Amino acid sequence: QVQLVESGGGLVQAGGSLRLSCAASRSIDSINAMGWYRQAPGKQRKLVAAITSGGSTNYADSVKGRFTISGDNAKNTVYLQMNSLKPEDTAVYYCNALEYCTGYGCPAGYLEVWGQGTMLTVSS
């Protein structure tokens, strides 16, 4: 079972940039999709960006044009480059891995693994 560790969070000023990293315990090219989610205080956890093993990407409307998700297979790491940060980007950011599966051990058709989260605070 893959393990994920996020890093790179911190405190930045509005308009600044930061890159989050998600290091996986094994090769990410065998994982169907990986993504970044965020959860602000009192809010639901929402998808920020996702990338498939084939390189396709998907972004939440709120971050399109500002955030970029990418993967480095050699380093078993997925990144989230965040530019033009806004105070509303403040949240705990979680890395996620998704693997499609079948059988009794996979009733939803997929399995998800989550990292521990890394905090981003954007000051105005």
* pLDDT per residue as tens digits for the range 6-44: 999 999 999 999 999 999 998 888 889 999 999 998 999
pLDDT score, position 1: 80
Nearest to 98 by CA among 30, 5, 19: 30
Say how many residues make up the chain. 124
For residue 62, what pLDDT is reported? Answer: 97
Residue 111 and residue 6: Cα distance in Å, rounded? 19
Q: Is 96 helix (H, G, I), strand (E, B) or coil?
A: strand
Nearest Cα residue to 34 out of 95, 116, 117, 93: 95
Q: Which two tokens stand for residue 47?
A: 């998808």
Q: How confident is the model at residue 98 (pLDDT cuts 50, 70, 90)?
A: very high
